[in-house]
């Protein structure tokens, strides 16, 4: 039995977006932190995204999921302003501060780059700021270590620390848990939930897993060239199926997400198979 289908996550088709959110935009402005209106992105003559209507408000945690080549990273880069839409409009709140954790960051393992120095690029940070931020993300005491000596989990947390140094309004994470084992994923997700609670920032995260998401997410958005469906994840911490999938060591940080598509993507998979994620 498919535990995802069995548990029946609470889904809303795209055409029936809920207006009620756990978190709201600032009282002094009704606009979202970032909003996309009818956005399309074309690269190399190929259409990667089309008809994207999306917004994220202060304090929300939103996860973006989709198959390889569906345009997840492209959407993040467009929202960041790195890519210019070929159609539509993206608006950002005035003075918006964004912290970004990239999908990959390749550093020469032999490069003598201490963590403290890495966190001070390009803007110099005080030892106190560095120590406090590293402690916040759960890796105190690594400031003097070279980046090349860190474990995968430590490396991701240092990248997160760098993104948090500027106290962002919006934290963007591009597949931050890739390469981590299940307990590592759960630990990272609990950390993100804690960061949201402490800083009040919004979190927009891309996940490579189509069905297992952060239980603290307010919304999960599935894309495959366009937005296919969106809704809330379904935490089933006490269900036998959940324990069978995740065991008892995840602390309820993971949840299931059931997709509800009223169309297929045979043509889209052919179109996007060589496109960016």
* Extended strands (E) in 57-195: 61-65, 87-92, 98-101, 170-174
Per the CB < 8 A criterion, the answer to whether 32 and 90 are in contact is: no
Q: How far is CA 173 from the centre of its chain?
A: 4
CB contact set of 171 (below 8 Å; sequence gap of 6+): 98, 99, 100, 101, 163, 164, 192, 195, 196, 201, 202, 203, 204
pLDDT at 87: 96
**pLDDT-derived band of residue 66, with 50, 70 and 90 as boundaries?**
confident
Closest to 76 measured CA to CA, from 189, 174, 156: 174
What pLDDT is recorded for position 205?
A: 93
The model's pLDDT over 237-259, given as tens digits with 9 standing for 90+, comes to: 444 543 454 444 445 555 655 54
Domains of the chain: 3-17+29-97+167-272 (3.40.50.300), 106-166 (no CATH)
Task: Report pLDDT digits (tens) over 153-172.
Answer: 899 999 999 999 999 999 99
Q: What is the reported pLDDT for 275?
A: 46
Question: Helix, strand or coil for residue 211?
Answer: coil
CA proximity to 58, closest of 92, 11, 12, 14: 92
Task: Report how far residue 44's alpha carbon sits from residue 40's, in angstroms, rounded to the nearest whole number.
Answer: 14
Under a CB-based contact definition with an 8 Å cutoff, are residues 275 and 45 in contact? no
Which region among 85-89, 108-112, 200-204, 213-217 has the lowest average model confidence (pLDDT)? 213-217
Q: How far apart are CA 245 and CA 178, in angstroms?
A: 18
Instruction: Tell me the pairing of strands 98-101 and 170-174.
Output: parallel
Q: pLDDT over 90 for what percent of the chain?
A: 49
Q: Say which residue the tokens 């000596």 belong to.
A: 149
* Cα(24)–Cα(35) distance, integer angstroms: 14
């Amino acid at each position: 039995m498919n535990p995802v289908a069995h548990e029946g996550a609470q889904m809303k088709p795209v055409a029936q977006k809920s207006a009620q959110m756990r978190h709201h935009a600032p009282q002094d402005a009704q606009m979202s932190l970032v909003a996309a209106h009818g956005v399309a992105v074309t690269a190399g003559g190929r259409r990667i995204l089309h008809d994207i209507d999306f917004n994220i408000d202060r304090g929300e945690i939103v996860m973006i999921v989709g198959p390889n080549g569906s345009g997840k990273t492209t959407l993040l880069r467009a929202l960041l302003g790195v890519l210019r839409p070929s159609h539509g409009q993206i608006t950002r709140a005035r003075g918006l501060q964004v912290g970004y954790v990239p999908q990959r960051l390749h550093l020469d393992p032999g490069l003598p780059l201490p963590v403290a120095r890495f966190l001070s690029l390009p803007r110099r940070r005080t030892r106190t700021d560095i120590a406090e931020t590293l402690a916040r993300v759960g890796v105190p005491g690594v400031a003097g270590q070279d980046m090349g000596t860190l474990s995968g989990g430590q490396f991701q947390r240092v990248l997160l620390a760098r993104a948090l140094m500027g106290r962002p309004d919006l934290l963007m994470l591009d597949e931050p848990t890739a390469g981590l084992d299940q307990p590592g994923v759960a630990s990272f997700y609990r950390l993100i939930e804690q960061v949201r609670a402490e800083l009040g920032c919004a979190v927009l995260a891309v996940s490579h897993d189509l069905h297992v998401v952060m239980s603290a997410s307010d919304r999960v958005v599935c894309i495959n060239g366009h937005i296919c469906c969106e809704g809330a994840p379904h935490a089933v911490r006490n269900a036998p199926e959940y324990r069978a999938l995740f065991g008892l060591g995840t602390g309820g940080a993971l949840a299931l997400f059931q997709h509800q598509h009223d169309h297929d993507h045979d043509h889209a998979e052919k179109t996007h198979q060589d496109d960016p994620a």
